[in-house]
Structure 1
């Protein structure tokens, strides 16, 4: 929480106004930020200076791991974050690659589970990683990337948190996640939960112990219609201690994640938070 609040204040103090062509709004922006989350004892990095709906954040990442391509599939999991980008993004609505209502195109988990090489063969990045880590293998290429430059025109949104690199030292698993764009008031809370959860769940299904996650951000920004609430509400609040995530012990494999796991299989113990803040979402 301290690192997050310091970054928010840094944006206010040092940020430069940048016009965002996709949203038509200005963003107060800084470049480069690094976060470190120790999840070895089950601590989940959840914002406490506002209420964070942490279950949809997990649902979204679970949908990525399943390779979902439709906003309807995410809604069925309990996540509504893709409704607007799939159905209200003017550029995507006019894109001839769009396959009807709720279609997200070839973004995020579609790339993680079915990256296409030049010959059109699909490569399951996640399955290779799980297979290697389950056997104690780290070839320094345990990388899952959602960012495919050759298919950006086939996606409703280019992946923001785009690449996840797993590293194994003995039976201790580490994760480094790279994010090109970070909406601090809205997106960041989702993303840091996802980084922590991803490390914990991959450690669980590969028989390793979760260690630390490193969350690297390139462009951190606050939209102009979010700035007043950030300064006058969220930055005035005192953080609470972080909660612990409990994972259903029956989750043991990638197949479990792909088939029967739901949000009911995760419980957050000791989550104290300030009230929610209705920040504006930009499509």
Structure 2
């Protein structure tokens, strides 16, 4: 019997608890960290790597990926889709700059209700979507990196240059949060076969192992599935490479609880339709079946 792929994630969590380098991080919370890790997930059988040892809200993760693909950088449309995972950063900035001790719920309601307020306080700066879809070069020319990848996959699928990334040095200071999942590289195997397979390797400079990684793996697999459908390629592997992989000190008890649970089979992913382009996917297009996770485990976000 093959080893459950989720054990890669749990093994890394055990390593962080037992051997992690204790560090004071940007947030001040503190972490147990390791440097350099890799996980591989085979998607060729239709499985969708949504971790099962705690409930992962895969729809929220996929909605975030769809938001990245729009090129937007304001949380207003995310909040309208009931995705609140980016609210902490603009909320912290608002509280700091105005001195108003507003609740997160009240802040989010104002962003949704007031477009001018959202423009001033809901924007995250030139984060992922801006760089992926609207990178501006020194001559002012706009580059759609994602569209370029899809075109190359259709016309020159043996290329070693099928990469997009978000680490735009000149704009880092204007971002609410520096890019964590930085580099996306695509690779097509079996070019001489009837069913070439598309794989994706994501290089992530910083990974919150308890909260961030379950979302990232799920949404990166969703992106791979979308691009494969758009380019008429079969699915291969999602390869994840982590730089600073860390467990926050206030997540250790939750991590121990998760480690006591046995992984269950991953669900499967199919699409309800084939959208006309990468820009046309909606959450309703994702059909996830057979997801039977353990209960959720709550943990605080470090801002």
TM-score, scaled relative to structure 2: 0.86
Count of matched residue positions in the alignment of Structure 1 and Structure 2? 274
Provide the rounded CA distance (Å) in 2 between the counterparts of 1:75 and 1:57.
Answer: 13
Trace 1:82-101 onto structure 2 (pairs within 5 A): 82-89=86-93, 100-101=120-121
What are the Cα deviations for residues 116-163 of structure 1, in whole angstroms up to 9, with x where unaligned? Answer: 211222111111111111235342111110111110011101011111
Is residue 17 from structure 1 mapped to residue 22 from structure 2 by the alignment?
A: yes
3-state SS of the aligned residue for 1:279?
coil
Provide the rounded CA distance (Å) in 2 between the counterparts of 1:158 and 1:80.
Answer: 18
TM-score, scaled relative to structure 1: 0.92
| Structure-2 residue corresponding to 1:247 | 271
What are the Cα deviations for residues 184-223 of structure 1, in whole angstroms up to 9, with x where unaligned? Answer: 1100100110121111110001111111111000111111
Structure 1, unpaired ranges of 5+: none
Q: Is the 8 A contact 1:59 1:78 kept in 2?
A: no
| Rg larger for | 2
Is residue 270 from structure 1 mapped to residue 295 from structure 2 by the alignment?
A: no
| Structure-1 residue corresponding to 2:8 | 3
Provide the rounded CA distance (Å) in 2 between the counterparts of 1:78 and 1:134.
Answer: 35
Q: Is the 8 A contact 1:44 1:196 kept in 2?
A: yes
Structure 2, unpaired ranges of 5+: 1-5, 99-117
Within the candidate set 133, 137, 141, 2:157 is matched to 137
Higher helix share: 2
| Structure-2 residue corresponding to 1:28 | 32
Shift of 1:273: 0.7
Shift of 1:78: 4.0
Q: Is the 8 A contact 1:184 1:222 kept in 2?
A: yes
Q: Report the RMSD for the aligned CA atoms in angstroms.
A: 1.9
Provide the rounded CA distance (Å) in 2 between the counterparts of 1:252 and 1:218.
Answer: 36
Q: Is the 8 A contact 1:68 1:74 kept in 2?
A: no
Trace 1:114-263 onto structure 2 (pairs within 5 A): 114-169=134-189, 170=191, 171-231=196-256, 233-256=257-280, 261-263=281-283
More divergent stretch after superposition (77-86 vs 111-120): 77-86
